[in-house]
C-alpha cells in the first residue's frame, strides 16, 4: 500500500499570491519519486495557528508523512516550529539536527533554521511523521534525502513494525 504524504508551504507572500511557491513543488516531486502519494503543496500563511490547523487537516486526510517548507527562521512571523509543536506528540531531534548539519554545509544561514521533526501517535491511523524544512528550494532539495532516508522506517515503527 502506498503511504500518503502532504507538503505545506508556509509563506505569507505565497498565500497572498504575491510570490510563487518554488520550494513546495521540490518536496512534492521528491515524495512522488520516492513512491508516496502526494498532491500539490498546500500554501498557508505564516503563524503557529495556521500551521497547526493545516497539519491537523493533512493528518485527518490520511497523511503519514508531512513536510513543511518555510517559517523556520528567526523572522517575526516565522512560527512553523511552534505550530508543529502543537501537533506532534514526540519530537525526533536527530532528524532536525541532521537537517541543520546538511544546511550548514551549504550555507552558514543553515544555523538559523529552527525546524523540528516529530511524530503523531494517532490511534487507529498508524501515526505520522512531520518534518519542518526551510523555505528555500535549495534547502528543500538537500533536506528531502534526509527525510526520505528514515521516513518509511518511522512510518513502519509508528504502525507497530519491528526494529529491523
What is the DSSP code (8-state) at residue 2? P
The predicted-structure confidence for 81-138, as pLDDT tens digits, reads as follows 999 999 999 999 999 999 999 999 999 899 999 999 999 997 556 799 999 999 999 9
Looking at the chain, how many residues does it have?
164
Contacts 24+ apart (CB under 8 A), 159-163: 159/126, 159/127, 160/126
* Domain enclosing residue 116, as ranges: 4-158
Residue 163 lies in a domain: no
Instruction: Name which of 1-5, 144-148, 155-159 the model is least confident about.
Output: 1-5
Residue 106 lies in a domain: yes
Residues in contact with 17: Cβ distance below 8 Å, sequence separation at least 6, in sequence order? none
Kindly report the CATH number assigned to the domain that includes residue 86.
3.40.980.10
Residue 29 lies in a domain: yes
CB 131 within 8 A of CB 115: yes
Task: In the chain, count H helices and then E strands.
Answer: 6, 7
Burial class for 57, CB neighbours closer than 10 Å (0-12, 13-18, 19+): middle
Contacts 24+ apart (CB under 8 A), 148-151: 148/30, 148/31, 148/34, 150/95, 151/34, 151/65
Residue 127 lies in a domain: yes
Mean pLDDT of 13-40: 98
Amino acid at each position: 500500500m502506498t503511504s500518503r504524504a502532504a507538503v505545506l508551504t508556509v509563506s505569507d507572500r505565497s498565500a497572498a499570491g504575491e510570490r510563487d511557491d518554488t520550494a513546495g513543488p521540490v518536496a512534492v516531486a521528491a515524495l512522488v519519486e520516492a513512491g508516496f502519494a502526494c498532491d500539490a503543496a498546500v500554501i498557508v500563511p505564516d503563524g503557529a495557528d495556521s500551521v497547526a490547523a493545516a497539519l491537523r487537516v493533512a493528518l485527518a486526510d490520511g497523511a503519514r508523512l508531512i513536510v513543511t517548507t518555510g517559517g523556520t527562521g528567526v523572522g517575526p512571523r516565522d512560527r512553523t516550529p511552534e505550530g508543529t509543536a502543537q501537533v506532534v506528540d514526540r519530537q525526533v531531534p536527530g532528524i532536525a539536527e541532521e537537517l541543520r548539519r546538511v544546511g550548514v554545509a551549504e550555507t552558514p544561514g543553515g544555523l538559523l533554521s529552527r525546524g523540528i521533526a516529530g511524530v503523531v501517535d494517532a490511534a487507529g491511523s498508524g501515526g505520522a511523521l512531520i518534518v519542518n524544512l526551510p523555505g528555500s528550494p535549495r534547502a528543500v532539495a538537500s533536506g528531502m534525502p534526509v527525510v526520505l532516508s528514515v521516513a518509511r522506517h518511522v512510518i513502519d515503527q509508528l504502525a507497530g513494525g519491528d526494529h529491523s
